[in-house]
Amino acid sequence: MSDSRHYVPRSSRSFYRLVKLTYGIWLRFAYNVESQGEEILDGLRAPYIIVGNHQTTRDPFILSLFTRHPIYWVTSDGNMRSRFMRYLLSWVGSIPKSKAIPDRKTIDWIVKVVRKKRGVIGLFPEGQQSWDGTTLPLQPATAKLLKLLKVPVIAARLEGAYFSLPRWTWSRRKGRMRVVWQQLFTPEELEGLDTDGILARLEKGLAWDEYAWQAEHRQAYIGPRRAEHVELALYQCPGCGAIGRLRSRGKRLHCAACGSTYVLDRYGYFSMAGGGEARFPSIRDWSLWQEGAFREAAEAALGRPGHPFISDSGALLYRGHRMNPLRRIRTGTLVLYPDRLELATLLGERLVFPVSDIDGIGVLKRNLLEFYVGKALYQVRFTRRSVSARKWADGLGFFSAK
């Protein structure tokens, strides 16, 4: 029997209070966290559900600062593949969810927490962190879950969180963060609405654009390495169109193909080194352009099925299942063709995965590419931090949809 089958999410009020009085105090100071509207939580009795926009890896801990009830957060099972993390997260009530694939066990746990334990569930309906500070499309299944449970739903909107700790970085910035609370649904409203109506209100309640907020507030976020690893999110150069040739250091982002150099300021905007305006001053604008430009490049690659679309050396391939520990099976160069993903190993082998067999494509944390073939989970880790797993997920997603 696998270790994952022994996992049981639990909740300890004493441990919950300990975390709030230690790590919680540090979070408030380190990220300058404020709150607005949290009084709606004061008289609220469990069970209920908290939903939030997902901006940073710290989001569950930050939102938990303002609730008196322990929260059972639904989180990626990828965070639980070490025995230590699985043990720790079980004590804060984490409920594991496999990314991008249906997971009946997760639903069973959620229903049990709400109906039998009378507990509080925490959800991020986007299913992953934002790359550019704008709310991602929500998972429609969330509306069905809320309809099923029929308990109060509280929205927690994080403002300034993306600039404080973007998904693509390892270093935080000193600025300001605020959590805005509001009640989205009563049980009676969930009873009266269909799932489309629930999803529409959920989308409106969690909609957020960090750059629109920044244009109004002009809040500085201080950090000496504010551009480092932004190429994990922005992997295509708008100057020459080269994919995977951008490199960052300090506050600069440089294209090795055309020599364009961009400077990221403390407000989150790009300018050209030496002066002049960048074609896309915000990460959000650049990301939107990249979405279309990368799709055009991938469409052009469909006409050359025998030629590689993208490749990266130093790829470490792991295999496993759900939240069990992964085992490294090969090392080599990862190559994506329109019809297949290949790993050319150091021993001269070629491991081939037809894109038609690949499912559950996603990026775990900052830069771990994951996908499923049948029930087997594969994870690719890159020896160089400059290699964007988002690029690979976007490429695989495009070709597997064809």
pLDDT (tens digit per residue) in 5-24: 567 777 778 888 888 899 99
Confidence band of 325 (pLDDT split at 50, 70, 90): confident
- Tens digits of residue pLDDT in 117-147: 999 999 999 999 999 999 999 999 999 999 9
Confidence band of 104 (pLDDT split at 50, 70, 90): confident
Q: Could you tell me which of 338, 325, 349, 343 has the C-alpha nearest to residue 380?
A: 343
Q: For a pLDDT cut of 70, what percent of the chain falls above it?
A: 95
Indicate the average pLDDT of the chain. Answer: 92
Residue 307 has pLDDT above 70, yes or no: yes
What's the pLDDT at 275? 87
Question: Cβ distance 380 to 392 under 8 Å?
Answer: yes
Residue 83 has pLDDT above 80, yes or no: no
What's the pLDDT at 102? 61
Query: Which of residues 2 and 289 earns the better pLDDT score?
Result: 289
The alpha helices in 69-178, defined as continuous H runs, are 83-91, 104-115, 141-149, 161-164
What's the pLDDT at 1? 34
CA distances from 202 to 48, 99, 248 (A): 15, 20, 36
| Average pLDDT rounded to a whole number, residues 365-375 | 94
| Average pLDDT rounded to a whole number, residues 72-97 | 76
Angle at 61 between CA 55 and CA 64, to 5 degrees: 110
What distance in Å separates the CA atoms of residue 161 and residue 42, rounded to the nearest whole number?
A: 24
Other Cβ atoms less than 10 A from the Cβ of 386: the count is 19
What distance in Å separates the CA atoms of residue 165 and residue 160, rounded to the nearest whole number?
A: 9
What's the pLDDT at 135? 97
What distance in Å separates the CA atoms of residue 85 and residue 157, rounded to the nearest whole number?
A: 27
Domain 3-217 has CATH 3.40.1130.10: yes
Residue 249 has pLDDT above 80, yes or no: yes
What distance in Å separates the CA atoms of residue 370 and residue 233, rounded to the nearest whole number?
A: 16
Q: Could you tell me which of 37, 395, 391 has the C-alpha nearest to residue 182?
A: 37
What's the pLDDT at 375? 87
CA distances from 16 to 21, 88, 93, 331 (A): 9, 11, 9, 41
CATH entry, 310-400, from 1.10.760.10, 3.20.20.70, 2.30.29.30, 3.40.50.920: 2.30.29.30
Q: Where in the chain is the domain with CATH 2.30.29.30?
A: 310-400
| Average pLDDT rounded to a whole number, residues 380-398 | 97
Residue 93 has pLDDT above 50, yes or no: yes
Question: Cβ distance 201 to 254 under 8 Å?
Answer: no
What distance in Å separates the CA atoms of residue 374 and residue 144, rounded to the nearest whole number?
A: 26
Read off the pTM. 0.92
Q: Could you tell me which of 8, 12, 151, 24 has the C-alpha nearest to residue 70?
A: 12
Confidence band of 2 (pLDDT split at 50, 70, 90): very low
Question: Cβ distance 386 to 229 under 8 Å?
Answer: yes
Residue 101 has pLDDT above 70, yes or no: no
Angle at 127 between CA 58 and CA 220, to 5 degrees: 40
What distance in Å separates the CA atoms of residue 293 and residue 320, rounded to the nearest whole number?
A: 34
Q: Could you tell me which of 47, 185, 44 has the C-alpha nearest to residue 114?
A: 47
What residues does 344 pair with on adjacent strands? 333, 350
Q: Where in the chain is the domain with CATH 3.40.1130.10?
A: 3-217
